[in-house]
Amino acid sequence: MKAMVLAAGYGTRLQEMTVALPKPLIEVHGRPLIYYPLSVLKRAGIRDVVINVHHHAEKIKKILGNGQLFDLNIQYSDEPAILGTGGGIKHAEALLGDETFVVINGDIVCDINLNDTIRRHFERNADATVVVRNDPQVLNFDEIKLNGDFDVVSVNNIPLPPESYIPRMFTGIHILNPVVFQYLKNEFSSVIATFYQPALLDHCHITAYDFKGFWCDVGTKQNLERINSEVLPFEI
């Protein structure tokens, strides 16, 4: 199985910190941030990784190279113009191939066991599986609404959810079947708007994995300061 790490963004919420340095190379506990999603993939036995790059792309390539030092096989999807989460995945289609693959945001630190998520994806015969978590600030993220079987019924209120549902937030980790490429466009776009919402309207089977472990989005100065002041419950 292959995986894609989304790492092309400008990191604007980190302000001056990402003017001369791409967000994936900002240090968290003395290591570049991108090491953390890569370690999640490596722990799951995934070795073939595609990384999309744009902002300070050469600096990321210089640090990671072809992945040999990390026991990974890394390929890069260069974006001449930034394409967002939807366009970025579509642009990497030729590198990802025609089998189920993992996508993980390049700015998260977590201790998820992806093997459990992948197992659920195939057991449920899903078109996509989103990793979600219970968060009191769910409205600050993409809101995923689930039914009692933990299948996704709505994302950001499309389609309109039933009266009874389970609210969760999207963690930026998902398992996708190649059907996603039928929806995505090679232009700036969001995977939520161009795949998940229309796919639900088309009655695609999208399920969720409820993650209860450690997770942090390192997209803001506040979160970066907080995570660097904590003791991580795992090692990479």
User: Is 211 inside any structural domain?
Assistant: yes
Torsion on CA atoms 118, 124, 130, 135, rounded to nearest 10: -110
State pLDDT tens for residues 77-96: 999 999 999 999 999 999 99
State pLDDT tens for residues 148-193: 999 999 999 999 999 999 999 999 999 999 999 999 999 999 999 9
pLDDT at 136: 72
User: Is 58 inside any structural domain?
Assistant: yes
Closest to 180 measured CA to CA, from 48, 90, 84: 90
For the chain, residues with pLDDT lower than 70 are: 138-139
pLDDT at 138: 67
- Model's pTM, two decimal places? 0.96
User: Is 235 inside any structural domain?
Assistant: no
How many domains does the chain contain in total?
1
Q: Return the axis-axis angle of helices 35-43 and 114-123, rounded to nearest 10°.
A: 60
User: Is 87 inside any structural domain?
Assistant: yes
User: Is 117 inside any structural domain?
Assistant: yes
User: Is 234 inside any structural domain?
Assistant: no
Give the angle subtended at the CA of 160 by the CAs of 159 and 162, to the nearest 5°.
120
- Residue-number span of the structural domain to which 78 is assigned: 2-229
In this structure, what CATH number is given to the domain that contains residue 130? 3.90.550.10
User: Is 88 inside any structural domain?
Assistant: yes
User: Is 39 inside any structural domain?
Assistant: yes
